[in-house]
Amino acid sequence: MAYSSIVYLLPFLGAVVLLYNGMPKKYRWWVLLLASYIFYWLNSPTTLIFLLLSTVAVYLAGIFLNKIQDGFDLSKKALDKEGKKQLRKIVGWQKKAVCACTLLFIFGLLAFLKYYPFVSENINQLLKMIHLESTLPQLKLILPLGISYYTLQAAGYIIDVYRGKYRADPHLGKVALFLSFFPQIVEGPIARFDQTAGQLMEGKRSTYQNLTWGAQLILWGLFKKMVIADRANPFVAEVFNNYTEQSGAVLIMGGILFTVQIYMEFSGCMDIVAGSAQMLGIDLPKNFARPFFATSVNDFWRRWHITLGAWLRDYVFYSVSLSKGFAKLSKKAKEKLSPFLGALIPSAAALFCVWICNGIWHGAGWKYLAYGMYYYLIMLLGMLLEPLFARCATAMRLNRDGGAFRVVRILRTCLLVVGGMTLFRAESLGAFGGIVSKVFTDLSPQQFYDGTLLHLGIDGWDFIAIAAGCVVVLIVSILQEKGFCMRKKIAECNIVLRWSIYLSLILAVVIFGAYGPGYDQVAFIYGQF
């Protein structure tokens, strides 16, 4: 049941909204929980057990942490300063043990189900190279739906409880709903317990604005996915599946169109998902903020898949860079080398961890690791050269935030991103290498305009539709970048204009959507992680 399918949009979501509002307030969260488990069951029945295991694990761990903390609070009253210090140390170790074991368990499940095939294959190859007989069995494992997403949410929850940000919740249903909420389960966004759990349990009735604005957001997401992303798909598939037969020009176009496709699809899906939640009165965290207006790769990753970046920042980056070990190292570096390096070293090390995680989170393969390292190296270079750039800019009296230079920075960032996306989409690391070498050895620039591009799965009209769609999205994005809330702005217009806009958007999806005879249903790209 894909989020863009008729079955989800009309009967499923419609029924959930009706039932949710029809129930008395205190039972509304039951509707959400049931709906979420039914949704999970309809999509991936055999793996529901893993979601339940992780849910129970973090729930119990949380209760345990609460107990340890309560025990400490009780005992410390009777102790002197020295005694308190000792007890605090012991309690600290206990909590760390509980947290670590839980994380080991849930990440262990994720690691096994997701990475076992990749790891075992590589170990087998290694063993073969040194002529050892034993081979690890190649197991056929099904990846549970949303495991990459709900595991991070679960980990965030237990780490927050461990850090003392809030107490663990004694309500199993609340924890279960937080982890399984159906709009988030397939592709995120990755939320924190204190962001969504309260809202999910509150049982707020849907207002007229919730329903209409939510529906409009869903419509916008459908427009992006069906008119733009799905229309580009045949070309992207044709080019990347047969990359050895394409010229550099075609491959470049493939990279660009894939970047367009994945942005429109992922952000479109996020719109559908956020709109669905909004119809139920729930506000989910944003995952996109006009990423292609980013002036640097760092900026890009603050605007693309925001919740993943935020999760990695709060639970990997700061955990590593602010840890005691690194604090000591940084101090030494500051004294021995320079303050600049004193800050750079822990940051660079922490960033490395972040990008390894980001890479392998996306998938089990060398290509994904390379994807992470691609961005890491760009950012590291940026960090190292920053003082140099700053000095050049002042020497040349350049305003790096000024209009023309900003455009250059945006274009440069887009170029780097297209490169990264090409790696992401390529069949393998080797294929990416092949693509890059083709671009330099066989560019054939005439293929950009001699009609070759019109025979690779889509025709001229398709390109026009994609371009037109992108222009619409661009205009909306520019307005949003300036701070306008589109739905609010439109709601303030008179009824004729408002309805014209909504009807035009619906008709655009109906007429220009890439569905029906001749089109295969395109699976959600980020749903496979």
Partner 1 sequence: MEELLEILENLKPGVDFPAQTDLIEDHILDSMSVVMLVGELNDAFDIEITPVDVVPENFKTVDAIYAMIQRLSDD
Partner 2 sequence: MEKSKNTLSSCVIKSVVFLLILALLLLGLSYMMAPKDNTKASGITNPNANGFYSEPKNSIDIAVVGNSDAYSGFSPMELWNSFGYTSYVSAEGLQVPAGSLAMLKRILSCQTPKLVILETDGMFTKTDASQNMVNAFNSVLGEPFSIFRYHNRWKKLKWKDVLRKPYYTAHCVTKGQMLSNKVKPYDGKEYMVETDETEKIPPFSMLAVDKIIKLCKENNIELLLLEMPSESSWNYKRHNAVKKFAKERDLPFVDLNLDRDRFDFDWTTDSRDGGNHLNTRGARKVTQFIGKYLKEHYDLTDHRGNPNYSVWHEDYKEYLKQIKI
**Adjacent-strand bridge partners of 183:** none
Site string for partner 1, 202-241 (x = CB under 8 A): ----------------------------------------
- Taking the complex as a whole, the smallest distance from the CB of residue 208 to partner 2 amounts, in Å, to 4
> Does the footprint of partner 1 cover residue 54 (CB under 8 A)?
no
- Both tokens assigned to 426: 């390529």
Q: Give the span between the Cα atoms of 166 and 473, in whole angstroms.
A: 40
- Residue 449 binding target from partner 1, partner 2, none, CB below 5 to 8 Å by type: none
Which option in partner 1, partner 2, none does residue 322 bind, with CB closer than 5 to 8 A by kind? partner 1
Secondary-structure breakdown of the chain: helix, strand, coil percentages, each rounded to the nearest 5: 80, 0, 20
**In whole angstroms, what is the distance from residue 123 CA to residue 46 CA?**
28
How many beta carbons lie within 10 A of that of residue 399, not counting itself?
A: 10
- 342 close to 317: Cβ distance less than 8 angstroms: no
The listed partner (partner 2, partner 1, none) that binds 136, CB under 5 to 8 Å by sort, is none
| Phi and psi based region of residue 483 (left: phi greater than 0; alpha: psi -120 to 50; beta: remaining) | left
Minimum distance, C-beta of residue 5 to partner 2, in the bound complex (Å) = 5
Residue 347 contact among partner 2, partner 1, none, beta carbon within 5 to 8 Å by kind: partner 1
Q: For CA atoms 227, 228, 233, 239, give the dihedral sign.
A: positive
Which CB atom, from 461 or from 484, has the smaller least distance to partner 2? 461
By a kind-dependent CB cut-off of 5 to 8 A, residue 512 interacts, out of partner 2, partner 1, none, with: partner 2
Residue nearer to partner 2 on the CB measure, 1 or 159: 1
Residues in touch with partner 2 (CB under 8 A): 1, 5-7, 10-11, 208-209, 459, 461, 499, 502-503, 506-507, 510-513, 516-518
Q: Does 334 bind partner 1 (CB under 8 A)?
A: yes
Which one, of 232, 252, 223, lies nearest residue 421 by Cα?
A: 252
Cα torsion 183, 229, 516, 467: sign:
positive
Residue found under tokens 């989800």: 8
User: Which of 347, 413, 422, 477: binder of partner 1 (CB under 8 A)?
Assistant: 347
> Under the criterion CB under 8 A, does residue 25 sit at the interface with partner 1?
no
Q: Which is nearer to partner 1, 279 or 297 (CB)?
A: 297
Candidates 34-42, 276-284, 321-329, 449-457; binding stretch for partner 1 (CB under 8 A): 321-329
C-alpha pair distances (Å), 331 with each of 343, 384, 402? 9, 19, 36
Q: What are 484's two structure tokens?
A: 């306008």
Q: Find which of partner 1, partner 2, none residue 325 binds, CB within 5 to 8 Å per kind.
A: none
Minimum Å gap between C-beta 7 and partner 2 is 4
DSSP assignment of 204-263: PPPPHHHHHHHHHHHHHHHIIIIIIIHHHHHHHHHHHHTGGGS-HHHHHHHHHHHHHHHH
Residues belonging to the chain: 529
Name the token pair of 293. 């207006």
**Residue closer to partner 1, measured from CB, 165 or 286:** 165
Of the candidate spans 220-228, 330-338, 362-370, 464-472, the one that interacts with partner 1 by CB under 8 A turns out to be: 330-338
3 binds, among partner 2, partner 1, none (CB under 5 to 8 A by kind): none
Residues 396 and 409: their CA atoms lie apart, in Å, by 17
* Measured distance between the N- and C-terminal CA atoms of the chain, rounded to whole angstroms: 17
Residue 67 Cβ, how far from partner 1 at the closest point, in Å?
20
Residue 319 contacts which entry, partner 2, partner 1, none (Cβ below 5-8 A, type-dependent): partner 1
304 φ, ψ (degrees, to nearest 5): -115, 125
> Judged by CB under 8 A, does residue 84 bind partner 1?
no
Binding status of residue 165 toward partner 1 by CB under 8 A: yes
Contacted by 502, from partner 2, partner 1, none: CB < 5 to 8 Å by type: partner 2
Contact yes or no for 96/162 (Cβ under 8 A): yes
Comparing CB distances to partner 1, the nearer of 314 and 442 is 314
Q: Which residues sit at the interface with partner 1, rule CB under 8 A?
A: 160, 163-165, 298-299, 313-315, 317-319, 321-322, 327, 330-331, 334, 339, 342-344, 346-347, 350, 383
